């Protein structure tokens, strides 16, 4: 086992703190006031919060006034997936939730909707939401129950495939519905603009872009229609999410958002080169390797692959022994390695299993070379095992 160095290639699970974020957090420890207090210390905390809100909004082309800070993307999902919205002071009924079959569990669970009022929309073999199926579902929606709400992620967390969100938005709005977009894996990897996408709500998370864990945001295109609050109390975040804001984490989130926006183009170019090098080497070493979504538009940091004959658990452990940290899909189930609902939705046998390599700001050429060296050993052992069998 390699005990000297480790190579971290699981950035989709969580990104290590960026150096600029770490430095900002140290300084933010001296921000003592409650942002709701009117004295000097409170105003200083509020100013820091407002600056972070502007940076988070700018990352997605939104307005600072439309950012609601939460404890993370899961809370933001549960907040917005509500059968009751408010239009001003009047209640607005949402009759049914439609979600793509490849959504993160935080969305697939349906938030505050009863399971009977949640419908999954199929995806194609390419891992893209089936727009025809979405259109048919919306056409059959019973408008007497309330408006439809649709959830479509912008980038899939396992495959890295970019979804046709703008096209979905046109279908949703033609049916008078609302569109929720999980942009957690998209921000910092592709340009994201809430207006261009036609999303009514975007969900993002701090720790996926090198900020601290425990903070996320729900960003709306406007303030006319907002979900019924999930957490009640002192009325912070304009009454949308009560509880004293996590000022320290939010400051770090703001710095991470600013860094992601500033470095987007250069990082995309750099990471794309590393991704191509990695995948070319994998195919040369094991021609039967399956890179899921290879022919679809993907973000440049994600490689989700199946090596026939290698179980996910076995592969993850084998790479770990070689000093390479990767995952067997989404890191959202307390360390469990289960079958991928994304592979199932794409028509693959989930028992084949798959491993995910995801790159980030600190990933180097040496890291990719180490991953290729580990892959070489593991693929070689697999070949010998298959031949022996």
Annotated catalytic sites, by residue?
Answer: 332
CB atoms within 10 A of CB 244: 12
Identify whether the C-beta of residue 99 lies closer than 8 Å to the C-beta of residue 110. Answer: yes
Closest CA to 172 of 204, 137, 146: 137
CB atoms within 10 A of CB 115: 8
Q: Is 7 exposed, middle or buried (0-12, 13-18, 19+ CB in 10 A)?
A: buried
Cα dihedral across residues 354, 360, 364, 367: positive or negative: negative
Q: Backbone dihedral region of 127: left (phi > 0), alpha (psi from -120 to 50 degrees) or beta?
A: left
Under DSSP, the state recorded for 101 is: T
Q: Is 226 exposed, middle or buried (0-12, 13-18, 19+ CB in 10 A)?
A: buried
Under DSSP, the state recorded for 17 is: P
Torsion of CA 313, 318, 321, 326, to 10 degrees: -60
Closest CA to 55 of 198, 257, 195: 257
How many Å is the Cα radius of gyration of the chain? 22
Closest CA to 165 of 183, 140, 147: 183
Which tokens go with 22?
A: 């770490």
Q: Is 265 exposed, middle or buried (0-12, 13-18, 19+ CB in 10 A)?
A: exposed
């Amino acid at each position: 086992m390699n005990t000297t160095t480790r190579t971290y290639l699981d950035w989709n699970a969580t990104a290590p703190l960026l150096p600029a974020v770490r430095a900002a957090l140290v300084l933010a420890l001296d921000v003592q006031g409650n942002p709701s207090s009117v004295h000097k210390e409170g105003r200083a905390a509020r100013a820091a919060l407002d600056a972070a809100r502007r940076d988070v909004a700018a990352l997605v082309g939104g307005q600072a006034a439309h950012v609601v800070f939460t404890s993370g993307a899961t809370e933001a999902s549960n907040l917005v997936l509500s059968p009751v919205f408010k239009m001003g002071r009047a209640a607005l009924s949402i009759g049914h939730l439609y979600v793509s079959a490849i959504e993160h569990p935080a969305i697939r669970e349906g938030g505050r909707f009863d399971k009977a009022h949640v419908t999954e929309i199929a995806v194609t073999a390419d891992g893209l939401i089936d727009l025809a199926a979405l259109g048919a579902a919306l056409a059959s929606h019973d408008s007497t129950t309330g408006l439809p709400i649709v959830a479509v992620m912008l980038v899939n967390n396992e495959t890295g495939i970019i979804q046709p969100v703008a096209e979905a938005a046109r279908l949703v709005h033609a049916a008078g519905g609302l569109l929720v977009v999980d942009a957690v894996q998209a921000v910092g990897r592709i340009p994201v603009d809430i207006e261009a996408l036609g999303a009514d709500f975007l969900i993002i998370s701090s720790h996926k872009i090198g900020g601290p864990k425990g903070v996320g945001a729900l960003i709306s295109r406007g303030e006319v229609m907002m979900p019924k609050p999930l957490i009640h109390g002192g009325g912070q975040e304009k009454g949308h999410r009560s509880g004293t804001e996590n000022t320290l984490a939010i400051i770090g989130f703001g710095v991470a958002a600013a860094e992601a926006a500033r470095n987007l183009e250069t990082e995309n170019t750099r990471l794309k080169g590393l991704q191509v090098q990695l995948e070319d080497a994998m195919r040369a070493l094991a021609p039967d390797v399956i890179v899921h979504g290879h022919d679809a538009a993907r973000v440049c940091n994600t490689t989700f692959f199946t090596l026939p004959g290698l179980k996910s658990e076995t592969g993850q452990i084998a790479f770990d022994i070689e000093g390479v940290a990767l995952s067997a899909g989404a890191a959202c189930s307390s360390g469990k390695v289960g079958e991928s609902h994304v592979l199932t939705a794409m028509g693959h046998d989930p028992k084949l299993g798959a491993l995910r390599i995801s790159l980030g700001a600190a990933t180097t050429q040496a890291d990719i070379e180490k991953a290729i060296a580990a892959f070489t050993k593991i693929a070689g052992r697999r070949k010998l095992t298959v031949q022996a069998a």
